[in-house]
Amino acid sequence: MELYVALSLLSALLALILSTQIYKLDVNKAYNWFIPVLITTGVWAAFYGLRFLLPDEYSIWALKISFLGIITLPVFLLFFALDYIKSPWLEKITRNSWLLWIIPAVSVFLMLTNSLHGLFWSETVTRELFPGKPVKEPLPGFWFWIHSVYSYALVLLAAIILFVTLNKKKERLGQYALLLGILLPMTTSILFVSGLVVIDFSPLMLSATILAVGWAISSRFYMRNIRDVMILQQKTSDLNKLYNLVVRLSEKLIQSDIGQLDDTINDVLKALGTFARVDRTYLFSYDADTDEVHNTHEWCNEGIPSEKENLQNIPLKEAVPRWHKILKEETNHIYIPQVKDLPDEPIYADEKQILEPQGIQSLVVVPMHYGKRFMGFAGFDSVRSVRKWDDESIALLKVCAGVIAGSLERMRYEKELISTLEKAEEANRAKSEFLASMSHELRTPLNAILGFTSVVMEDLEDEKAREQLDMVLTSGNSLLQLLNDLLDFTKAKAGILQLEPKPTKLDAVLGFIKKTFMPKIKEKGLDMQVEVTQAAKGSFLLDDSRLRQILFNIVGNAVKFTHKGSVTITADAVQEKSTDQKPDSDPRNIIPRYTLYIKVRDTGIGIHEKDQENIFALFTQLSSGLSRQYEGTGLGLNISQRLVQMMGGEILLESRLGEGSVFTVKLTGVLGRR
């Protein structure tokens, strides 16, 4: 009994494995209908065997479940046979498939309700089918015979269809396996139903049936289709790996600095050569002026000699005219499966003379194009063995070669750009030095003119003449201020503007600024306040002359653009936390650092929001409203910003049109003591 049950469960397991494999591997869905055949066969075998292990009350239910497989199996087998031969009857039968299911449906219903009518099984008797194991065995009823005849008819019809089909395809082995697989369990089933044997050996025969039928109906599928699918899967996997590699290498090329590009290209060639299992990878650059190619990059596998030095200044058209013609077309490539098999024709003679001395057996060469321009080619040599390439892999190599071409073009362009920038910077420095020199030369005579003008004004008594000289003096001072700003600007641009830090008191600097602008403040009827917090009254290491220049420009603008109200200057200092102080150092020996905040607040015309971004730009003035009536060169704030940045700070701006402005000079890391 144990052997009988084990073989029944083995049949079910084989059915499950075979159906799973067909479901996974049958990509064309040619054996869809065979899967339910296997499933119903497995249900029949498994539960028919299990019934001998279960108590009587559960044994009968296991038998009923097994009959669900027996009843439905013939219909699925017929559907499979029709589908296997691609019969036009399949569509018609499928549309009216319910007709085939009438008898099976009635059989299932009568089987499940047999206790009410006894039509499926007439009675149940107890038999000792196995020594020491009495089992309740139902005897066939009226409908059982109808179901059996119907099922055998469908099975025979399916067997005939498959047998004829295999005969036409001249698959003799499949025919014999089919006969064995279908007729053997059918014979044992007939013997059992007719009462000639007391035990139904059909479930045992199903192990052989599944293997035989599986061989018969899917020999081509397993021996050919599955092999092709596995080859396709392996090819797809290799292509995916090559694709991912090309993507990674392309990203590496795109992100590489021009100084590292040569090393990156060598790494790319090594990675491609290792992955593709070739022995040598290389790049040739093309010189359109001379029509020559040069081996610029090369990777060789261990034990493979380098050919780089031997492959320089090669006239492509003369050396290998076939390559010259093919590679210049962007979509073409060179693929030689075996060098020794190249035809003995003159057109191939040149390349054989080049390739055979290098020991090359197979190679692929793909062109490098940037736009329509031919830049060279990349090659992949197999020396130790023959290497076969498919079109998809070669297409990916072309993509990688295109990225390399783009990277080489980017390197060339960036080198030209750097050279152009260096020339432009050199010219700019020369211009700045010239302007600085000219500004200095102009200031000397201008100072003399202004000095003598002041002296003459003191001696003149004619009021009209004094007014005219005053206009000369005012214009001269404006011109002098412009020259001073221009001199500072050109020094900053030329990189020769230097700071001279020294101990500076903010209250003294702000006091000087207030004293300087008080005449103008009184003239316009404004108010000016200077506030220095206690924290900002110490001494700080600053270039006081440059700080005065910064504040002179900012406060000058505040006074210029304010017609009523006030101008307020405030200063504050915040000590910074030390990050470089050693744990055992004496705090008294540490010079603290401060962040200084000097704010200039006015109640003037304000600055439009769209102008705030450009207010510090070179030669920029306000463009809105009445602000265009004010004089100015647009250099002051730009120079102030440059000076503040040199001091390690920044200028912040808050302003609303018609409500005034607040300029904040923020200097960080300033050394100082209170």
For the stretch 470-481, pLDDT in tens is 777 777 766 766
- The residue ranking higher by pLDDT, 19 or 509, is 509
Same fold, 256-301+308-389 and 499-579+588-673: no
Stretch among 177-186, 235-244, 264-273, 341-350 having the lowest mean pLDDT: 177-186
- The residue ranking higher by pLDDT, 33 or 293, is 293
Q: What pLDDT does residue 569 have?
A: 95
> In 345-462, which residue ranges form alpha helices assigned H by DSSP?
346-355, 391-459
Q: Where are the beta strands (DSSP E) in 176-217?
A: none
Output b/e per residue, 523-551; b: 16+ Cβ within 10 A.
Answer: eeebebebebeeebebebebbbebbbbbb
CB atoms closer than 10 angstroms to residue 73: 22
* Distance in angstroms (rounded) separating the CA atoms of residues 320 and 350: 6
Q: What pLDDT does residue 552 have?
A: 86
Contact 132/140 with Cβ under 8 angstroms? no
* Distance in angstroms (rounded) separating the CA atoms of residues 517 and 501: 25
The pair of structure tokens assigned to 570 is 């405030």
- The residue ranking higher by pLDDT, 529 or 147, is 529
* Distance in angstroms (rounded) separating the CA atoms of residues 377 and 251: 20
With vertex at residue 527, the alpha carbon angle to CA 521 and CA 532, rounded to the nearest 5 degrees, is 105
* Distance in angstroms (rounded) separating the CA atoms of residues 501 and 75: 102
For residue 573, is pLDDT > 90?
yes
- CATH topology assigned to domain 2-229: Rhopdopsin 7-helix transmembrane proteins (1.20.1070)
pLDDT confidence of 625, banded at 50, 70, 90? very low
Q: What pLDDT does residue 582 have?
A: 56
For residue 363, is pLDDT > 60?
yes
Residue type (1 letter), 33? W
Domain boundaries, the chain: 2-229, 256-301+308-389, 499-579+588-673
Q: What pLDDT does residue 211 have?
A: 61
Instruction: Name which of 518, 509, 491 is nearest 548 in CA terms.
Output: 509
Please give the average per-residue pLDDT across 28-33, as a whole number: 69
The pair of structure tokens assigned to 341 is 């098999």
Q: What pLDDT does residue 55 have?
A: 79
The pair of structure tokens assigned to 118 is 């006894």
Contact 665/551 with Cβ under 8 angstroms? yes
pLDDT confidence of 626, banded at 50, 70, 90? very low
For residue 303, is pLDDT > 50?
yes
For residue 583, is pLDDT > 60?
no
Please give the average per-residue pLDDT across 588-597, as a whole number: 83
Instruction: Name which of 292, 352, 353, 297 is nearest 324 in CA terms.
Output: 292
Q: Where are the beta strands (DSSP E) in 446-538?
A: 502-505, 527-532
Contact 64/42 with Cβ under 8 angstroms? no
- CATH topology assigned to domain 499-579+588-673: Heat Shock Protein 90 (3.30.565)
Cβ contacts of 521 within 8 Å, gap of 6 or more: 527, 528, 559, 567
pLDDT confidence of 222, banded at 50, 70, 90? low
Q: What pLDDT does residue 39 have?
A: 84
For residue 634, is pLDDT > 90?
no
pLDDT confidence of 165, banded at 50, 70, 90? confident
Strands 566-575 and 527-532, by their bridges, are parallel
Rounded percentage of the chain residues whose pLDDT exceeds 70? 77
- Mean pLDDT of all residues in the chain? 79
Q: What Å distances lie between residue 348 and 329, 351, 621, CA to CA?
A: 19, 6, 74
Element (H, E) at 611: helix 609-612
pLDDT confidence of 28, banded at 50, 70, 90? low
Instruction: Name which of 326, 279, 335 is nearest 307 in CA terms.
Output: 279
The pair of structure tokens assigned to 169 is 């395809």
* Distance in angstroms (rounded) separating the CA atoms of residues 107 and 120: 7
In this prediction the pTM is 0.40
For residue 458, is pLDDT > 80?
no
Cβ contacts of 538 within 8 Å, gap of 6 or more: 505, 573, 672, 673, 674
Please give the average per-residue pLDDT across 322-340, as a whole number: 82
The distance of Cα 554 from the centroid of its chain, to the nearest Å, equals 49
The per-residue pLDDT for range 262-295, each reduced to its tens digit, is 888 888 888 888 888 889 999 999 988 888 989 9
- The residue ranking higher by pLDDT, 150 or 22, is 150
- The residue ranking higher by pLDDT, 501 or 81, is 501
Name the DSSP letter for residue 221: I
For residue 428, is pLDDT > 80?
no
The pair of structure tokens assigned to 538 is 């110490």
CB atoms closer than 10 angstroms to residue 344: 7
Q: What pLDDT does residue 598 have?
A: 95
The pair of structure tokens assigned to 171 is 């698959």
- The residue ranking higher by pLDDT, 155 or 597, is 597
| Cα torsion 532, 533, 539, 542: sign | negative
For residue 627, is pLDDT > 70?
no
- CATH topology assigned to domain 256-301+308-389: Beta-Lactamase (3.30.450)
The pair of structure tokens assigned to 486 is 């221009």
Contact 374/333 with Cβ under 8 angstroms? no
- The residue ranking higher by pLDDT, 634 or 399, is 399
Name the DSSP letter for residue 617: S
Half-sphere exposure of 295 (CA within 13 A, CB side): 14
Instruction: Name which of 471, 491, 467, 551 is nearest 515 in CA terms.
Output: 551
CB atoms closer than 10 angstroms to residue 310: 12
The distance of Cα 353 from the centroid of its chain, to the nearest Å, equals 44
Element (H, E) at 78: helix 56-84
* Distance in angstroms (rounded) separating the CA atoms of residues 298 and 341: 26
Stretch among 330-334, 438-442, 451-455 having the lowest mean pLDDT: 438-442
Q: What pLDDT does residue 177 have?
A: 64
The pair of structure tokens assigned to 493 is 């641009």
Most confident of 112-126, 421-435, 455-469, 585-599: 112-126
For residue 533, is pLDDT > 90?
yes
Half-sphere exposure of 412 (CA within 13 A, CB side): 9
* Distance in angstroms (rounded) separating the CA atoms of residues 368 and 376: 5
